[in-house]
Chain A
Amino acid sequence: MLSEFYLGLVALGLAYGLFAFGLDLVWGRAGIVSIGHAVFFGAGAYGVAIAKVHAAPPVLGGAAGIAAAAALALAIGGAGLRRKATPSTMAVLTLGVTLLGAQVATAWVGVTGGTNGLLVLTGLSGAATMWCCLAVAAAVVALCQVLVFRAPLGNRLTALRLNPQRARHLGIDTQRLGLLALAMGAAIAALAGAVAAPLVGLISPEVVGILLSTQVLIWVALGGRNTLLGPFAGAMLATLGQNLLTDVSLSYYLLLLGALFVVVVIVAPDGLVGWLRRPVEVRPAWRPLRRSAAWVTALPDGPRASPPDGSTTPPPPAARQGQAVAVSGVVKRYGGTPAVDGVSIAVAAGEIVCLVGPNGAGKTTLLDVISGDLEADEGRVLVLGHDVSRAPVHRRARLGLARTFQTPSLFGTLTVGEHLTLARQEARGTQQLPESYRRLEDSLSGVAAERLSLGDRRSLEIAVALAGGPRLLLLDEPAAGLSPDEAHELARALLAVRDQLGCAMLAVEHDMEIVRMLADRVVVLHQGAVLRQGSFEEVHVDGRVRDAYLGVT
């Protein structure tokens, strides 16, 4: 008969597995760094322990712990997932919080019992505890499978993890999404802590500390990130292994653990389960496509932000009718140097404008300001009639702005088909791809983006942009690196797109042949300012333009 002891061990493994599952949601799926996840686990455990000490129902204590964990996660995420933040910000924040948590748990003796801890030992049998843990774990996993990992939310998490920039350009509010993932992952970890409390027996500061935080990381890495069973497998293996191996290898166990950290990262980054099968990254929507869930990422139509200078004059009437984008007086500085120095241009609906100029003229910077990847220091940006000067990237994307980059910004490991599924998911309506791009979908659907040729990657990026039915398309050197034939093909395709979809385009381009084919109007930028605007012929013969290109000041 499987003794009490082994049942209890399996129960502990399941509880730790749930903890790892919570971390996997944050790290494995959303790609958010959390190296202090034990602080959430500890919140749940202490919640139950404190409740027990005060003779309150442990369920209440556990719920309080879960709420506290979620609140803490929102606070951390609010700070660490902002635009200006880097992954190391989250690393430092979560590390700091876990150190602080251990400090508080040690010092606040009246509440936490200090290092002597709080006893939470029930009289429950091993079998009962095991079934309880199994039920809770199964329920959480099932709930997540139904509510979280399905489209659209699951796909959005994948997008966030693989390429937050491209995710934003698809219209996903990455900050809110990250907050949601972090809060959920924290709540699940806290639930695991609450369930594990009677198994751990004595709740002391070690349940919130850095050692447990790093252990759970290795469980997830070992078992396999971004898989359903991986975190459980890793945690179960570690828990059983620790107890069975210590009979054999006492002091070598810790050494083995250290080596395991290194080995798993270097040799088996996909972990055990990940090694067995590639996780399903993008799922098709299981209901007919409809408007994206408003409460998660979308915003109501027609935002009316006030101009940054505080004036209340409405945008000029012309903007609402015909202009796809209008920037006025935009200045963007790096250090002391203005990369864009007072630029005012406009692109009419359905017009193709090419932005040219020598290197360092500020073309990409201007594009960044329009798309929202950079915020201007001065000036106004109007996109499709809306003042978006302070709006984040995803808001502009939702208005109908799409963008490509000099180096195609895609989800490397996702296939062409998965890219288009994602793009369509975020689109405001179904969009049939133009003829020239349907080939991609038909013949290369199962190929991962990182395996495509540069030309195909460029096409994929444009296809992804088009799948959203944009009204304004920003292109950054779309012909760079292409052969003359491919470049011609591209220009023809873009013209066809404009004719079919009626979207305006603003393209930065160096290849004058392409510019001649494509442009309704050409804008020449030099040293951050507009040197000349006009048709290709007008600009081409202008002496000042020539001088600018040749470097004669």
Chain B
Amino acid sequence: MAAATPLAALGGCSSGQKSSSGGAGGQTLTVGLLAPLTGPVAPEGKAMRRGFDMAVAEVNAAGGVLGKPLEVVVEDDQGTPSVATTAARKLLQRDRVDVVFGTITGDTTIAVKQLATQAKVPFMKAILDDYLHSPLCSRYFFKLGESDYQLLEPLAPFMVERFGRRVALVGSDYSFPHSYNQTAKPLLSAAGAQVVAEEYAPLGTAEWSSVIGKLKGARPDFVLSSVVGGDAIALLKQAQSLGLLKSSEITGVSINQEFYPAVPTLMNGRWGTFRYSDQLDNAANRKFVADYRAKYSDDAPIPSVTANSYVGVHLLAKAVGAAGGTDADKIVAALAAVKLADTVYGPEEISFDPGNQVLNTNIYLAQIASGGKYTISRGAGVTADPTKC
């Protein structure tokens, strides 16, 4: 369906419209976009919004949903739970949206998921998350973002086979890296690895020499890093200068396209798994990338969250079309059953896992190359997230 959409995204201006009457139960689908547009995770929020806006423009250019244009209300959650709660309430109570779309951070997600579930409104999230160890089960919650399990499951055996059995874990000290490592450990031991070190440092750590010293002391073959933000750059630079990277490979959340421009030489050739790259070679993606580049005049690599929200809106539009109405239960049932083929991820059909409503797609193994592009090594197939809801 995405491939057939005419190239009308260039003039897209569908975001930011406020609907005072709302669409609860009516025929106009109103989606509330809740994203951190300011604050420390604003880059991710804006990236999500771009995919969202592009898809909404395409959907509306093709006739909208149920014959009417899809309407959008945008709220900034600033990446903090108290603001997210108020903003979500605004969307649910004042604007009476049919679907809530967004959130980036783990804590805002938990809060919004709870509110949406209580209000019986579907909620879709576009960015990667950990589902195994977070309280995120709800029939109203549709997880577009890839799960860390899906990414780690093919990565662990590959790294062990290629680099060695000794692995050191390092992460920023908050919920996500802890869950990430909790997910990683059984996968690593199943692949025959041995965890020789596990270190965490608080967010905002600029000086990593002590941690690096401890990691070096454990002599790992590779390091799995879930350090985020500016701390990741500091870690990578200091790991290099203090000699850790001479003897150990490094992978994980810290190795991503967003950080590539800062430390290109440190990133080149490093391995990772991903669901989406603007290098994926299929018709839908080529078109998507071209539209994106034209609309935003941005040559930087396109992050996964952008693709996820783009696909998510199309999934939603198709589901609501199939449901025939904007009633919440109908939408939920339709989303649970919706299937979409020829997406930017590839030609294969994608859908939500019936057990936990995580989007199942192909995962790929790749290296980061110059310019931050992913060089795909091989496909790893579709991995289902084992979370039981």
Contact = CB atoms under 8 A, between A and B. Distances in A.
Does a CB–CB distance below 8 Å link A and B in the complex? Answer: yes
Interface of A: 3-6, 8-9, 12, 103, 106-107, 109, 114-117, 119, 121, 123, 126, 199-202, 204, 206-207, 242-243, 246-247, 250-251, 253-254
A242 B83 CA distance: 9
Contacts of B339: none
Nearest to A254: B38
B85 interface: yes
> For the complex, would chain B's binding face be called helix, strand, loop or mixed by DSSP majority?
helix
Contacts of B353: none
Q: Is the interface of A mostly helix, strand, loop or mixed?
A: helix
A194 to B, nearest CB: 15
Interface in B75-117: 75-76, 80-87, 89-90, 93-94, 106-108, 110-111, 114-115
Nearest to B111: A202
Given A4-B93, A103-B202, A116-B134, A202 B38 contact: no
A117 B81 contact: yes
Interface in B32-47: 37-39, 42
Contact of A206 (B37, B81, B115, B202): B81
A119 B89 contact: no
Interface string B21-62: 000000000000000011100100000000000000000000
Contact of B111 (A114, A119, A126, A254): A119
Given A106-B174, A115-B174, A253-B38, A200 B106 contact: no
A169 B150 CA distance: 72
Nearest to B95: A5
The 9 closest A-B pairs by CB, nearest first: A201-B85, A202-B111, A202-B81, A115-B174, A5-B93, A5-B94, A116-B175, A4-B93, A200-B82
B107 A202 contact: yes
Contact of B90 (A5, A115, A201, A253): A5
B141 to A, nearest CB: 14
B173 interface: yes
Given A103-B202, A109-B178, 5 more contacts: A106-B174, A116-B106, A199-B85, A242-B83, A243-B87
B118 interface: yes
Contacts of A202: 81-82, 84-85, 107-108, 110-111, 114
A355 B95 CA distance: 79
A72 to B, nearest CB: 22
A201 B114 contact: yes
B175 A121 contact: no
B184 to A, nearest CB: 18
B82 A243 contact: no
B38 A204 contact: no
9 contacts: A3-B93, A107-B173, A201-B84, A202-B108, A204-B81, A206-B80, A206-B81, A243-B90, A251-B37
A116 B81 CA distance: 9
Interface string B171-211: 00111101000000000000000000000001000000000
B169 to A, nearest CB: 17
A109, A121, A204, A207, most chain B CB atoms within 10 A: A204
Nearest to B83: A242
A12 B110 contact: no
A250 B93 contact: no
Contacts of B80: 206
Nearest to B73: A247
A145 B115 CA distance: 38
Interface string B233-275: 0000000000000000000000000000000000000000000
Given A200-B85, A201-B85, A243-B90, A106 B202 contact: yes
A201 B82 contact: yes
Contacts of B75: 246
